[in-house]
Amino acid sequence: MTPPRRWVVTGASRGIGRAIAERALAAGDRVCLVARSEEIARDAALLGDQAMGVPADVKRRPDVERCCAAVAGAWGGIDVLVNSAGLHRGGKVGRVSDEDWGDCIATNMTGPLNLVRAALPHMNEGGAIVNVGAVVGFRGFAGDSCYGASKAGLSGLTNVLAVELARQRIRVNLVVPGFVMTEMTSGVSEKAREAIVAKVPLGRMGDADEIAEVCFWVAGSTYMTGSTVFTDGGLMCSL
What residues are labeled active site?
Answer: 147
> Which amino acid appears at position 39 of this protein?
E
Residue 180: DSSP 8-state: B
How far CA 220 is from CA of 130, 148, 177, 181, in Å, comes to 10, 28, 18, 25
* Cβ atoms of 22 and 30 closer than 8 Å: no
CA dist 237 and 156 (Å) reads 21
| Sheet with 6-10, side-by-side order of all strands | 51-55, 30-35, 6-10, 78-83, 123-132, 171-177, 228-231
DSSP string, 65-76: HHHHHHHHHHHS
- Closest Cα to residue 149, out of 211, 101, 80? 101
CA dist 94 and 185 (Å) reads 23
Classify residue 142 as exposed, middle or buried by CB count within 10 Å of its CB (0-12, 13-18, 19+).
Answer: exposed
